[in-house]
Structure 1
Amino acid sequence: MAIKERKEREKQDMRNLIIDSATGLFLKLGYDKTSIRTIAEDIEYSPATIYLYFKDKDEIFYVIHENAFALLDKEFRKHDVIENHFERLAAICSTYINFALKNPDYYDLMFIMRAPLSQIACEETWTAGNCAFDYLLDTMSGCVDEKLIKGGDKFLLAMSVWSFGHGLVSLYVRGRFDVMNMPEDVVKDMLDKAVANFLNNLKA
C-alpha cells in the first residue's frame, strides 16, 4: 500500500474513532455534558488531536446526523421499484418504523436529543437529511397528482405523515410502551397497523 493511501486510511480510521466515541457519549451523557475533552479522554488522545479533524463538537454532531440520514435514505431508495405511489408511501412508512426499531440510538440522535443544529444551518445543503425528506415529499406529490389520496398541500401532507410516524416511534425509543408489558413483536405490529390506518384515512 502506498504511503499516501495508508495515511488517508489512518486519517479516516481516526475520524471514525472520534465519531463512534462521540455518538456513545452523546447518548450516555447528553449533548451539553459532552465536550471535546470528554471525547479525547474516551479515545485516549489529546483534545488537540480531535481539532485536527473537527472544528468543534457541533461539526461532529453534524457528521453523525449525515451518516444516520444517509442510512435512512438508502433504505428509502430501495422502494424505487414500487410504481404505485401510495404503495410506495406505505413502504416508506414501514421502513421508517423498522429503522427506528433497529437503530434506536441513531434515531434518538437524529430526531429526539436536544442539541443545537448550528452546523446544519451553516451548511449550504443538508445533503442526506434533505434527500430523505425529499423522497417522502416526492412520493406524496405523486399520490396527490395521481389522486390516490385526498387533495391538499403536498408539503403539509408529507409533514403530517412524518409527524404521525415520528410520534409513535418516539414513544417506543423512549420506552413509553414498556409500561404496557407488550412483547416486541406486538408493539411492532401495533405501530404498523396504526400507520396503515392513518394512511387509509388519507385515501381518496
Structure 2
Amino acid sequence: MPRMGPQERRTEQRREQRQALRERILEVSREIVKREGFASLSMRKLAEAIDYSPAALYLHFKSRGDIARALRREGHASLRDAFVAHTSIADPAARLNAMGRAYVEFGLAEPETYRLMFMEPAGSAEAAADADDNGNGHAAESGAATLSLIADAFVELRAADRLPPRAAPIACAEGLWANLHGIVALKLNGAALPETPAATLVELSLDVWYAPVNGTEPRGTETRFNSPDRSDTSTR
C-alpha cells in the first residue's frame, strides 16, 4: 500500500477529526434525548455539553431536525436488528411472537427514542426534516424494511393455511404493527389501561390471525416488560 504524503496525511487527519466530532455530537444528543426527551435538545445546549461553539455543530448538522433524522435512523436500525435476531425461528407463529415481544421491549427500554421515531407530530419541523428530495421519509423506508420481516412470517402462515381466508399478509403485518404500537404508546403515556401484562397483549394480538400451534390453547404468560422509571407505567 503506497505511503501517504504530508498533505494526504493532513487531509486524512482532518477527515478523522470531523468524523469523530460528528460521532461525539450524536453521542451527546442521544444521551440528552434519552435522559430528558427530544424537546430538551437544542443546538446551544448541545454545544455547551461538548464544549464547542454552535457554529462548529452547524458544520455537521444543519439543524436540530437534522440530528433528529440521524437519531431516527439509528433507532430504526436497532429495531430491525432486534427483529433480525429472531428470523431463524422456523415456525412463523413463534417468530411473530418473538418479534412482537422484541418490539415492545425496544419501545419500553428506549422510550424517548421510540417517541422520536413514532410519536413525533407529523407536522413538526423535525418530522419534516426527515423527508428526502422526493418527499419520501427515510423513516418510512426503514419502517418498510422492518415491516417486511413481519409480512414474510404472515406469508408463511398463509401458505400453511393458518390465516383467515380474507387476511392479506401485508394487511396483517400492518395491523400487528398498529397493535404493538398501541401497546407501547399506552404504556409510555401512563394510561390506566391496559392492565394486562404487555407480553400477554402481544400473544392475544397474534391469536387473532393464526391458529394455535398443534391445537393448543393460546399461551398465557406472566412475563412483564419494564417501563420507564420516570412515569407510572408499570404493569400490574
Q: TM-score w.r.t. structure 2 length?
A: 0.69
Residues 11-31 of structure 1: CA deviation (Å, up to 9, x unaligned): 333112222333455563644
Q: Aligned pairs, how many?
A: 194
How far the C-alpha of 1:62 sits from its partner, in A, is: 0.8
Match of 2:48 in 1: 41
Q: Which amino acid aligns with 2:171?
A: L
Match of 1:146 in 2: 160
Between the aligned partners of 1:5 and 1:102, the Cα distance in structure 2 is 38
SS of the residue aligned with 2:209? coil
**Change in CA separation of 1:12 and 1:174 when aligned onto 2, cut-off 3 Å:** farther
1:64 to 71, 82, 88: 71
Match of 1:193 in 2: 200
Between the aligned partners of 1:131 and 1:66, the Cα distance in structure 2 is 12
RMSD: 2.9
Match of 2:130 in 1: 120
Q: Tell me which of the two structures has the higher relative contact order, counting C-alpha pairs closer than 8 angstroms and 6 or more residues apart.
A: 1
How far the C-alpha of 1:139 sits from its partner, in A, is: 2.3
User: In the TM superposition, what are the counterparts of 1:11-160 in structure 2 within 5 Å?
Assistant: 11-26=18-33, 28=36, 30-31=38-39, 34-114=41-121, 115=124, 116-122=126-132, 126=138, 128-151=142-165, 152-160=167-175
Structure richer in helix, relative to its length: 1
Q: Which amino acid aligns with 2:71?
A: I
Residues 98-130 of structure 1: CA deviation (Å, up to 9, x unaligned): 212222232222222334422332166735433
Residues 62-103 of structure 1: CA deviation (Å, up to 9, x unaligned): 110111111111111111211222221111101111212222
Between the aligned partners of 2:38 and 2:85, the Cα distance in structure 1 is 33
SS of the residue aligned with 2:86? helix
Gaps of 5+ in 1: 181-186
Identity %: 24
